[in-house]
Amino acid sequence: MEIVLGILRLLLTAGAAYLVGRLVAKLHLPAILGWLITGMALGPHAFGVLDNSVLEAAWFTTAESLLESVVGLMIGTELIWSQMKRSGKQIVVTTITESLGTFIIVTLVFGVIFDFTGTPLYLAAMFGGIALATAPAPSLSIVREAKAAGPVTSTLIPMAALDDLVGAVVFFAVIAWVSSALASGDVSFLATLAVVFAPVLIGAVTGAIAGFIMRHTRSNAATISAMLAVLLATSLLAMYLNEHVITSASLNFMLLGMAFSTAFANLIPEEKLSGVMRVMNPVISCGLIVLIINLGAPLDYHLVFGAGIYTAVYIISRAAGKYAGAYIGAAATHAPATVKKYLGFTLLPHSGVSLVFTGISVSVLAGPAPECAEIIQGTIAAAAVINEIIAVFMARKGFEWAGELGKAGQTDKTNSGELSA
């Protein structure tokens, strides 16, 4: 009975989020902003419709992990090697400069501040590692909602997969270094490697198996059934590893879904892939609503009023790093002018992944440096609320300024030519 009531609460919240999103869209703002605010308003810190009894329930965390894997299909199915060859260098270089630029700027800014205040400097590196986290779901939902297409969109979608990977590598490298320095031992080196590379490896292998099966199916229903069966088995395997093998951290299910779908998308004919995605697109859209609600629900709106100077510094330095890093990478690879000017705005959404990274950081610092744990937890929690509202608005403006809203489905030979440059 408790599970049934929890599911009804989730459905009620999702329905409310959808309606609020429609109202927000009429104000020429992204619908996702409505979903996020609804999650926050109906979450445990406000009206409590979606309280901790739901958010922490086993059925909900299982469903969320499965939906993350499904949403990963949206990204992975865009990573077709024959198309990526034309702009692969641009995407890799831009991802690296954007990620490292963010890490360097945030770390340096906080390093200077902490040097004056006498706070341990390793905390600056942890802020830099957390700042790398980019939540792809918000920007991708804007792409879907606004039917965006063009050079910025084409760069962002594959970058979402690589950004997660680079961010995880840098963050867990910092965590491993800090853990070693503090001798806390909370996050082992092997766990670090597993969290970064296991989702990619597992997803790629099982996705290749799915692709082989899908190549030999004779109907669209059979193709989708085969894909979903293998994806479900893959997600269940990852859940088992999280529960029994990698207990100090968690595998990223969206990254798992990205790797899985990238593998099968490159093994099956284009017409089969199109048939699969026609059916899966509504499921992905529903999954995005639930994931955005889950980003908003844990956020405490009271933190907006208690935000301090560290929160402001964090939001501004992170935005500067994302924008400058993306601009430098795009300029170095001769990307179109719109990519140089506006890609950085689409990379600002942050909250869900940042809160996960913050939780790991706090677990490392809680014993040996509780005062540092308090600083990082308070700063990022407040930043998650404030930044997400600003970032969703700016991400949509980025697509708008680039002239890419409503362009999906149109053949733009100019853009294709520019991307291949």
pLDDT digits (tens, 9 = 90+) for 202-228: 999 999 999 999 999 989 999 999 999
The pLDDT of 305-319, averaged and rounded, is 85
Return the H-helix or E-strand segment holding 404: none
Amino acid at 110: F
pLDDT digits (tens, 9 = 90+) for 2-46: 889 999 999 999 999 999 988 987 876 667 778 878 988 898 988
Amino acid at 202: I
Angle CA 143–148–152, to nearest 5? 90
The pLDDT of 267-275, averaged and rounded, is 90
pLDDT for 29: 67
Residues 3-7: contacts with CB under 8 Å, at least 24 apart: 3/57, 3/59, 6/53, 6/54, 6/57, 6/59, 6/60, 7/59
pLDDT for 161: 66
pLDDT for 211: 94
What's the pTM? 0.69
Q: Reduce the DSSP state of residue 367 to 3 states and report it.
A: coil
Nearest-angstrom CA–CA distance, 398 and 166: 23
116 alpha-carbon distance from chain centroid? 34
pLDDT for 352: 58
Do 373 and 294 form a contact (C-beta atoms < 8 A)?
no
Cα–Cα distances in angstroms (integers) from residue 88 to residues 80, 81, 262, in the given order: 10, 9, 14
Closest CA to 385 of 55, 36, 136, 71: 36
Amino acid at 136: P
The pLDDT of 193-199, averaged and rounded, is 73
325 alpha-carbon distance from chain centroid? 18
Between 77-86, 147-156, 240-249, 276-285, the lowest mean confidence (pLDDT) is in: 77-86
pLDDT for 415: 44
Amino acid at 111: G
pLDDT for 203: 93
Nearest-angstrom CA–CA distance, 283 and 260: 17
Taken in order of first residue, the domains within the chain and their CATH numbers are 2-419 (1.20.1530.20)
Do 34 and 21 form a contact (C-beta atoms < 8 A)?
yes
Q: Compare 100 and 350 and report the one with higher pLDDT.
A: 100
pLDDT digits (tens, 9 = 90+) for 50-72: 888 898 899 998 998 899 899 88
Closest CA to 372 of 110, 73, 17, 47: 110
CA atoms within 13 A on the CB side of 303: 20
pLDDT digits (tens, 9 = 90+) for 286-304: 888 888 888 778 777 776 6
